[in-house]
Amino acid sequence: MLLKVNPNRMELLRLRKRLATAKRGHKLLKDKRDALIQEFISLVRENEKIREELEDKLREGYLIFASVSSLINPKSLEETIMFPKAKSAVEINFKNIMSVKVPNYLLKGEGNFYAYSLINTPPELDLSLKYFYELLPLMLKLAELDKATTLLAEEIEKTRRRVNALEYVLIPDLEETVKFITMKLDEVARSSISAIMRIKEIIRE
């Protein structure tokens, strides 16, 4: 589509400059997109690996916990864990991947998670709670990766849209306009030449 510009030499110069910038931007964005995709794929792979690991471990953990709860009256179990001593919080930092701000979760646990009677509670409960507690960092890691992949995916989408806009809209438009202006200018030049030739003829007669 032609841009609405006055076909004069000034405009032509300006458009040519814009075209050059657009082409350079296009190349840069394309590079960025490729790099992002590479990063994204490695993140997805890591995510998958950790998710599988976590799922296996959780399954194991639930089996251990099931063996605990099959040994204790639910009322006693409720009494046992109704007043926990441990408090946990998550600290969030951000790091930069290809100018995308990706969060980094850090577990800030305080207090012992064993805070219940040592008699009349299945000793396996200790092991089960410890098991789950040790899984927490892995869960946070997975959450971190999940968030990072989502953010990266959005960024890739955005970059690709920009690349496409440059490649299929802006650059063709500019090129077309430049061509149009050149043609227009050429025509003007040609018509002035022919006018001059006509004037020359008239003068000679």
Partner 1 sequence: MEFTETSNTETTYAYSVGRIRELENTLLNKVLLDKMIEAPDLVSSLNILRERGFESYGSEAYRLEDWENSLDQELLQTYKIIKDLSPYPFLYEVFALNYDFHNLKVLIKAKYRGKKYNTTTALVEIGTVKVKNLIMAIEEEKFVEIPVPFEVAVKKLMSEYNKFPDPEIIDLLLDKEKYIIILSLLKDKRAPFLEKFIRVDIDLNNILIAIRTKIRGEDKNFLRKALIEGGNLNLKNLTEILDSPLSSWNTRFAKTDYEKMVELGLKSYEEFHSLLEIERLMDNFRLDYVKIGKFITLGMEPLIGFIIAKEIDLKNIRLILRSKLDKLSPTKIKERIREAYV
Residues within window 57-96 making contact with partner 1, judged by CB under 8 A: 63-64, 66-67, 69-71, 73-76, 78-79, 82-85
- Is the Cβ of residue 47 or residue 67 nearer to partner 1 in the bound state? 67
From 121-129, 132-140, 163-171, 178-186, give the range in contact with partner 1 by CB under 8 A. 121-129
124 near partner 1, rule: CB under 8 A: yes
110 near partner 1, rule: CB under 8 A: no
What does the DSSP assignment read for 27-67? HHHHHHHHHHHHHHHHHHHHHHHHHHHHHHHHHHHHHHHHH
Which residue of 116, 156, 159, 181 would you call a contact of partner 1, by CB under 8 A? 116
Give the C-alpha separation, 111 to 113, whole Å. 6
What are phi and psi for residue 184, nearest 5 degrees? -60, -45
CB atoms within 10 A of CB 4: 6
53 near partner 1, rule: CB under 8 A: no
Give the C-alpha separation, 36 to 96, whole Å. 12
Binding footprint of partner 1 on the chain (CB under 8 A): 63-64, 66-67, 69-71, 73-76, 78-79, 82-85, 112, 114-120, 122-124, 126-127, 130
